[in-house]
A and B are shown apart, each in its own frame.
Chain A
């Protein structure tokens, strides 16, 4: 009898303890219960990672929570335009907006976004068990304020890397010809001089052989910011010109005379180098943005180029869209002597760390439901499948997934490079005036591209224009 009573008490205790434990397996259905019938609206750039959200994650989330999610995918320009108009006008159309890394500072300066960290802390009932901010890669730091609070859930991250054609670089005939012409062994370039020689060689090779092949891509659109970005975020840093040549600690100086470096000798050398490459790039380069650079490389029209990681991945692996699958190698961008040492010392970077996050506008009419969705796409368990389907990694554990490792091999080691060398790259400088300064100088940059203004004179004008704009905006005194 005593034994029977003891067993009963133990069973009761176990039952009570069990009932007190959170029902983790039912979190999504429980959390979504009070939002039945709600439809969330998001706007994002039409990219593979975003399409994965739209086609896979959103339906899964709806199935588990009962909350419908409609994701609008569009062009980069339209996405930005729609998002900022909505938030600025406080119309509350969008519950989630894609935040490109380079625009986060502008959004933060205008208090457009909900503080994810604070909101989850204030309302623990919304906290998903599988969502942990500390599991994000360092890329998440770009979406944090000075207090370390997160304002956007990272959803894609890429580095702009140096792609080269392994089929060409390993071709015995090509290697022999290159050796004969330059006296060097053909290998991915580590310096600008090497890169230029390789580019010149392959442009000549293509011409001599009657092939549609040029030595390098060039993101040199003469009327779109893509060209401006390629120069300031991917080329100039490799010459030691960082943060667009603007020094905020010297009264936001851009010109050398005032303490900046936008028109420094290094910057001018970088621009001349890049313009030369543009001149020996495929003819469509003068109208190429990042999209056209990718399609040019995928079509087999270039031997090497600087390509955004989001495109490098499908170029290397998607045979339906790329003619060079299995023929792509990845390498770090070429740099001037001394730059790598500066970068490793934490004083610079060698290229652009691109990507974005999903943010929650303060104007959203469904903040709590939207926050659930942001956690859903940020949780650990969805990351590996996402990384395989749409090559991007924002979570530290993803690198070790077997599927991801297989994908890494297909991508020529791109994921390994992202993991090991991502720290050498940097996103856009923390400028809330990002678009303003870009536009103030872009028209002059385009005139440089058309040859209307020389590179030296043009950069001098750009530095002056940047300082004038910063003065107008009130940053420079």
Chain B
């Protein structure tokens, strides 16, 4: 009993901070989501309108489109980051000339602010000025124009995100790999297991928690990406890269439609939680069921 009391006392500061800066704002956003509120409207007051905002977004073409492109973005970006990150992590577990230098260079994107990343990539991709369009045209005869080509703009935002965040995945998985015990691998090699078998049956299961955590982190970040995309494409061309985070920003700040913007935020949070739960079930539940069966 005394131990419980001490425990709660020790947790109290964290809980207070979580409550003040996490739960309370969420409750407020939830409250606003059930109101019509635009400070620049004829009447700047908050007006309760029930679930109207939530009904509205179900039929909101712009929101649904932004949701769709966001899911595509998250899928391609996160999947690529996990794959590349794992390969690079494996590479860094081995010794090779210049490893320290390469690892340092590789992690540099992590320390760059998202808005700066967007600025740099914008500079590199501007038609007739940027280095990327220049060499694509010179080497492959391809005229890159992210202001006109929706596919190119989308691809570039994915590539930019991969460039920016793959190092995080690499570092996380590298930490997981170097912490693995050697005995299972040695035993597997002795037993004649192939490299793929070792990867699938030993490495992957053992680093599953790290992968899962990384996927969750990257997925949540991808679903709310704003800064670098806004700087690179502004959400264009058209709405091709108007990801849901950027859509919320446009609704809440330039348009100052706080009620509707809050509703979108709540729904996006809900969808994020659902997606994480689905991932959890897909990646963790099978093992749990297998354990229970055995």
A449 and B40 contact, CB distance less than 8 A? no
Q: Are A223 and B234 in contact (CB-based, < 8 A)?
A: yes
- CB-contact partner of A284 in B129, B234, B239, under 8 A: B129
Shortest CB-to-CB span from B23 to chain A, Å, is 20
A446 in contact (CB, < 8 A): yes
Residue-wise, chain B 143-170 has the 8 Å CB interface mask toward A (1 for contact) of 1011110100000000000000000000
How far is it, in angstroms, between the C-alpha of A288 and the C-alpha of B255 when the chains are bound? 22
Residue contact B40 to A287, C-beta cutoff 8 Å? no
Contacts of A181 in B (CB 8 A): none
Q: Which of B238, B255, B256 contacts A447 (CB 8 A)?
A: B238
Q: Say if the beta carbon of B221 comes within 8 Å of chain A.
A: no
CA distance A447 to B65 in the complex (A): 13
Residue in contact with B42 in the complex, picked from A81, A88, A286, A475, CB distance below 8 Å: A475
Cβ-based interface call for B106 (8 A) = no
On whether A221 and B39 interact (CB within 8 A), knowing A284-B126, A450-B237, the answer reads no
Nearest-neighbor residue (CB-CB) of B150 within chain A: A450
- B40 touches which of A110, A225, A283, A447 (Cβ 8 Å): A110
CB pair B236 A439 closer than 8 Å: no
Is the beta-carbon distance between A287 and B43 smaller than 8 angstroms?
A: no
Residue contact A223 to B41, C-beta cutoff 8 Å: no
* A287 with B146: CB separation less than 8 A: yes
Q: Say which residue of A212, A222, A436 sits within 8 Å of B236 (CB atoms).
A: A222
A432 to B44, CA, bound (A): 12
Cβ of A221 and Cβ of B38 under 8 Å apart? no
Contact indicator A286/B38 (Cβ below 8 Å): no
**B residues in contact with A185, CB < 8 Å:** none
- Say yes or no for A135: interface residue by CB 8 A criterion: no
Of listed B36, B38, B234, residue having the most chain A CB within 10 A: B234
Q: How far is the CA of A285 from the CA of B145 in the complex (A)?
A: 10
Contact partners of B145 in chain A: CB under 8 A: 283, 286-287
Q: Is the CB of A446 within 8 A of B239?
A: yes
B254 at the interface (CB under 8 A from A): yes
Q: Using Cβ atoms and an 8 Å threshold, which residues of chain A touch B39?
A: 88, 110
A436: chain B residues within 8 A (beta carbon): 38, 40-41, 254-257
- Given known pairs A284-B147, A285-B147, the reply for A474 and B237 (CB within 8 Å) is no
Q: Is B109 an interface residue, CB under 8 A from the partner?
A: no
Structural contact, B42 and A447, CB atoms closer than 8 A: no
The answer to whether A443 and B254 touch across the interface, beta carbons within 8 angstroms, is: no
Give 1 or 0 for each of B225-236: 1 = CB within 8 Å of chain A CB. Answer: 000000001111
User: At the interface, is chain A mostly helix, strand, loop or mixed?
Assistant: helix
In Å, the complex CA distance between A470 and B231 comes to 29
A interface residue count range (under 10 / 10 to 19 / 20 to 34 / 35 or more): 35 or more
Q: How far is the CA of A88 from the CA of B255 in the complex (A)?
A: 14
Q: Is the interface of B mostly helix, strand, loop or mixed?
A: loop
For A318, the chain B residues whose CB sits under 8 A away are: none
Check: A106 CB closer than 8 A to any chain B CB.
yes
| Contact, CB under 8 Å: A474 / B234 | no
Assess whether B128 is interfacial by the CB under 8 Å rule: yes
B46 to chain A, nearest CB (A): 13
* Chain B CB within 8 A of A52 CB: no
Taking the nearest CB of chain B, how far is it from the CB of A78, in angstroms? 9
Interface string of B85-129 (1 = CB under 8 A from A): 000000000000000000000000000000000000010001111
Q: Which residues from 1 to 58 on chain B have a C-beta closer than 8 Å to any C-beta of chain A?
A: 36, 38-44
* CB <8 Å contact, B129 and A222: no
Say yes or no: A472 contacts B239, CB within 8 Å. no
Residues in A whose Cβ lies below 8 Å from that of B143: 283
Q: Compute how far the CA of A310 lies from the CA of B126 in the bound complex, rounded to whole angstroms.
A: 23
Binary A-proximity of B250-289 (CB < 8 A = 1, otherwise 0): 1101111100000000000000000000000000000000
Question: Contact: B44 with A110, CB < 8 Å?
Answer: yes
Which residue of A has the minimal Cβ distance to B148? A286
Inter-chain contact A446/B128, CB cutoff 8 Å: no
**In the complex, A446→B62 CA distance in Å?**
12
Residues of B within 8 A of A175 (CB): none
* Cα–Cα distance between A301 and B129 once the two chains are bound (Å): 11
Contact with A along B119-142 (1 / 0, CB 8 A): 000100011110000000000000
Kindly identify which residue among A221, A446, A449, A472 contacts B41, using a CB–CB cutoff of 8 Å.
A472
> Are B237 and A223 neighbours in the complex by a CB distance under 8 Å?
yes
Cβ of A282 under 8 Å from chain B: yes
Minimum Cβ distance to chain B for residue A204 (Å)? 18
Whether the Cβ atoms of B43 and A474 lie closer than 8 Å is yes
Residue A132 CB within 8 A of the other chain: no
What separation, in Å, do the CA atoms of A374 and B41 have in the docked complex? Answer: 30
By a CB distance below 8 angstroms, the chain A residues around B234 are 221-224
Is B242 in contact with chain A by the CB < 8 A criterion?
Answer: yes
Residues of A within 8 A of B128 (CB): 212, 282-284, 301
Scan A206-242; emit 1 where CB is below 8 A from any B CB, else 0: 0000001000000011111100000000000000000
CB-nearest residue of chain A to B129 = A284
The answer to whether B70 has its CB under 8 Å from any CB of chain A is: no
Q: Mark B212-249, 1 if CB is under 8 A from A, else 0.
A: 00000000000000000000011111111110000000
- Which residues of chain B come closer than 8 Å to A474, judged between CB atoms? 41-43
A302 CB to nearest chain B CB (Å): 12
What residues of chain B lie closer than 8 Å to A223, measured between beta carbons? 233-238, 241-242
Report A-chain residues with C-beta under 8 Å of the C-beta of B254: 225, 435-436, 438-439
Beyond A221-B147, A222-B148, A450-B238, is A435–B256 a contact (Cβ under 8 Å)?
yes
Write out the residue numbers on chain A whose beta carbons fall within 8 Å of the beta carbon of B126: 284, 287, 292
> Which residues of chain B have a CB within 8 Å of any CB of chain A?
36, 38-44, 62, 122, 126-129, 143, 145-148, 150, 233-242, 250-251, 253-257
Residues of A within 8 A of B (CB): 81, 84, 88, 106, 109-110, 212, 220-225, 282-288, 292, 301, 432-433, 435-436, 438-440, 443, 446-447, 449-450, 452, 472-475
Residue pairs across A and B with Cβ atoms less than 8 A apart, 13 shown, are: A110-B44, A220-B147, A282-B128, A284-B127, A286-B148, A287-B126, A288-B147, A435-B255, A436-B254, A439-B251, A449-B238, A450-B148, A472-B41
Give 20 A-B pairs besides A223-B233, A436-B254 with Cβ atoms closer than 8 angstroms: A110-B40, A212-B128, A222-B234, A222-B236, A222-B237, A223-B237, A283-B128, A284-B126, A284-B147, A433-B40, A439-B250, A439-B255, A440-B255, A443-B242, A446-B239, A447-B239, A450-B236, A450-B240, A475-B41, A475-B42
Q: Please list the 10 inter-chain residue pairs (A to B) with the smallest Cβ-Cβ separation, ordered nearest first.
A: A223-B236, A286-B147, A474-B42, A223-B234, A287-B147, A222-B237, A222-B236, A450-B238, A283-B127, A473-B41
